[in-house]
């Protein structure tokens, strides 16, 4: 695959456009950031499980759940930003305007 300059980010040509095999193309920096955040969230979730097993006061558990939800929202925002800057821009440039409807559905799901 050829690397092209879009003015926003370097992307692999047509990597998001194939309906049968769409893949993301995150930089190693973005992958590392997402992975680090998800590893922390995974630890937080295990911690919540431990709190429940220890009969921790409900309000304390609920506050930890809120922290995990906030952290997941942060991961979603980062991923959405990168998706907009790469896949969506590329598909619009390729004339695939249906990506807007796909994006709107995804955003509605994220905002529930």
14 domain-assigned: no
Structural domain containing residue 34: 27-110
In a domain, 100, yes or no: yes
Q: What is the CATH number of the domain that holds 90?
A: 1.20.58.1000
So what's the pLDDT on residue 17? 45
pLDDT on residue 24: 78
Write out pLDDT tens, residues 23-61: 877 889 999 999 999 999 999 999 999 999 999 999 999
Residue 12 backbone dihedrals phi, psi, to 5 degrees:
-85, 130
pTM: 0.75
H or E segment to which residue 61 belongs: helix 58-83
How many domains are contained in the chain?
Answer: 1
SS3 content of the chain, % helix, strand, coil (to 5): 65, 5, 30
Kindly state whether residue 17 falls inside one of the protein's structural domains.
no
């Amino acid at each position: 695959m050829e690397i092209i300059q879009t003015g926003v980010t370097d992307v692999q040509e047509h990597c998001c456009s194939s309906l049968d095999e769409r893949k993301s193309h995150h930089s190693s920096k973005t992958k590392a950031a997402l992975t680090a955040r998800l590893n922390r969230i995974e630890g937080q979730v295990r911690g919540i499980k431990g709190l429940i097993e220890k009969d921790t006061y409900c309000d304390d558990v609920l506050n930890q759940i809120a922290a995990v939800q906030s952290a997941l929202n942060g991961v979603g925002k980062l991923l959405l930003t990168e998706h907009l800057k790469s896949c969506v821009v590329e598909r619009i440039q390729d004339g695939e305007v249906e990506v807007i409807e796909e994006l709107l559905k995804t955003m509605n799901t994220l905002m529930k």
